[in-house]
Amino acid sequence: MMSLAWPLFRITEQAALAAWPQTGCGDKNRIDGLAVTAMRQALNDIAIRGRIVIGEGEIDHAPMLWIGEEVGNGEGPEVDIAVDPIEGTRMVAMGQSNALAVMAFAPRGSLLHAPDMYMKKLVVNRQAKGVINLALSLTDNLRNVARALNKPLEDLRMVTLDKPRLKPAITQATQLGVKVFALPDGDVAASVLTCLQDNPYDLMYTIGGAPEGVISACAVKALGGDMQAELLDFCEAKGDNADNRLVAQQERQRCEEMGVAVNRVYSLDELAVGNDILFSATGVTGGDLVNGIQRVANGVRTQTLLIGSADRTCNIIDSLHSW
């Protein structure tokens, strides 16, 4: 996979550059569509036999690189691809921070092949590897992580998303004294930040998109952290009503067809198999993980985080693009 590192980071760059001029336009689907088109064109220019194993679009009816889509020029290695052309389309549309173009590559058969649906995720860094278990309560997991890190619960830092579906988790954590950082969006960035050496968070707990979960698993594995995940149907994530039950039934049927299970806990090694994985994230709007695109004389500057699991490298790439 390492030979594909340069092409991969160029793909996320192209998606970010396509979306960035529309920052603040108020139309997240327009932004997603521009990024999808740029990614597809860039993917089809490189020497791979690629397959999108998990991508975004079905939950929010956005443009998408569809699951099962074949990309690349038909030559070279067989590659599994997990993609979110823009993680945080709403943030770009509203001119807010922490939006990324993200993608991960792995050898064929390495990444979890699942529908675009909701996923519960728990991520820790290498110091707490092996102590998490999504079959247990969040309270038990917080206590176990604190014990592994030799920290009192009052010093533990949990990052999550500021969503109604996560209010019970936020309440549980704060009642224990845990410090909670609730972000508006962006659990891929939160997963990576949790696993970096100078990490601002001790664990990440969210209910978000499955594509972001598989992409996050690639970064977590490359950084030596740990993760567990569980697919949730639409009713479990958004509440039980007639319309949501119809969506949930369709999701469960798709899961059965794809050979994955709802409400089964998946380990990191089941989400991303092996140690030959590449992860790339290019900033669109500025954030904690990487800088957003910045206008400079005669062009723009981009910043990309490129992680390779084979050699455990984490690279920050600053690029100048002249017009």
Q: 126 with 188, same domain? A: yes
Q: How many domains does the chain have?
A: 2
Give the tokens for residue 227: 């993760």
| pTM for this prediction | 0.93
Within 8 A by CB and 6+ apart from 164, the residues are none
Q: 226 with 253, same domain? A: yes
The pLDDT score that the predictor gives to residue 284 is 98
- Whether residue 118 is annotated as binding a ligand: the answer is yes
- Whether residue 205 is annotated as binding a ligand: the answer is no
- Whether residue 70 is annotated as binding a ligand: the answer is no
pLDDT of residue 58 exceeding 90, the answer is no
- Whether residue 88 is annotated as binding a ligand: the answer is yes
Q: 222 with 235, same domain? A: yes
- Whether residue 292 is annotated as binding a ligand: the answer is no
pLDDT of residue 57 exceeding 70, the answer is no
The pLDDT score that the predictor gives to residue 56 is 67
**Least confident interval from 53-62, 168-177, 282-291:** 53-62
- Whether residue 164 is annotated as binding a ligand: the answer is yes
The confidence band for 323, taking pLDDT boundaries of 50, 70 and 90, is low
DSSP state of 264: P
The pLDDT score that the predictor gives to residue 23 is 97
CATH code where residue 288 lies: 3.30.540.10
Q: 234 with 282, same domain? A: no
- Give me the mean pLDDT over the 88-94 stretch: 94
Nearest of 149, 120, 115 to residue 133 by alpha carbon: 120
CB 54 within 8 A of CB 116: yes
What is the average pLDDT value for the chain, to the nearest integer?
94
Q: 90 with 122, same domain? A: no
Q: 99 with 203, same domain? A: no
3-state secondary structure 101-146: EEEEEEECCCECCCCCCEEEEEEECHHHCCCCCCCCCHHHHHHHHH
- Whether residue 185 is annotated as binding a ligand: the answer is yes
The pLDDT score that the predictor gives to residue 122 is 99
The pLDDT score that the predictor gives to residue 296 is 93
Q: 166 with 209, same domain? A: yes
Write the pLDDT tens digit of every residue in 245-293: 999 999 999 999 999 999 999 999 999 999 999 999 999 998 899 999 9
The pLDDT score that the predictor gives to residue 206 is 97
Report the alpha-carbon angle 307-313-318, nearest 5: 65
Q: 256 with 130, same domain? A: yes
Write the pLDDT tens digit of every residue in 217-247: 999 999 999 999 999 999 999 999 999 999 9
Give the tokens for residue 169: 């988790």
Percentage of the chain lying above the pLDDT 90 cut: 88
Q: 225 with 127, same domain? A: yes
- Whether residue 259 is annotated as binding a ligand: the answer is no
Tell me which residue range forms the domain holding 103: 2-109+274-322
- Whether residue 186 is annotated as binding a ligand: the answer is yes
- How far is it between the farthest Cα atoms of the chain? 55
The confidence band for 102, taking pLDDT boundaries of 50, 70 and 90, is very high
- Whether residue 32 is annotated as binding a ligand: the answer is yes
- Whether residue 147 is annotated as binding a ligand: the answer is no
The pLDDT score that the predictor gives to residue 185 is 87
DSSP state of 42: H
DSSP E strands: which ranges in the chain?
49-54, 70-71, 78-87, 100-107, 118-124, 157-161, 179-183, 203-209, 226-232, 265-267, 278-283, 294-296, 299-308, 313-322
- Whether residue 313 is annotated as binding a ligand: the answer is no
- Give me the mean pLDDT over the 32-36 stretch: 94
- Whether residue 163 is annotated as binding a ligand: the answer is yes
Q: 226 with 292, same domain? A: no
DSSP state of 72: S
Give the tokens for residue 93: 């549309």
Q: 143 with 250, same domain? A: yes
The confidence band for 1, taking pLDDT boundaries of 50, 70 and 90, is confident
pLDDT of residue 156 exceeding 90, the answer is yes
- Whether residue 243 is annotated as binding a ligand: the answer is no
Which of 235, 254, 271 terminates a domain? The answer is 271
Q: 141 with 21, same domain? A: no
Which of 247, 271, 295 terminates a domain? The answer is 271
Nearest of 315, 285, 289, 314 to residue 300 by alpha carbon: 285
- Whether residue 270 is annotated as binding a ligand: the answer is no
The confidence band for 155, taking pLDDT boundaries of 50, 70 and 90, is very high
Beta strand pairing call for 49-54 and 70-71: antiparallel
Main-chain dihedrals φ then ψ at residue 83, nearest 5 degrees: -145, 140
The confidence band for 121, taking pLDDT boundaries of 50, 70 and 90, is very high
Give per-residue burial for 3-38: e unless 16+ CB within 10 Å, then b: ebbebbbbbbbbbbbbbbebbeeeebebbbbbbbbb
Residue with tokens 């309440």: 171
CATH code where residue 213 lies: 3.40.190.90
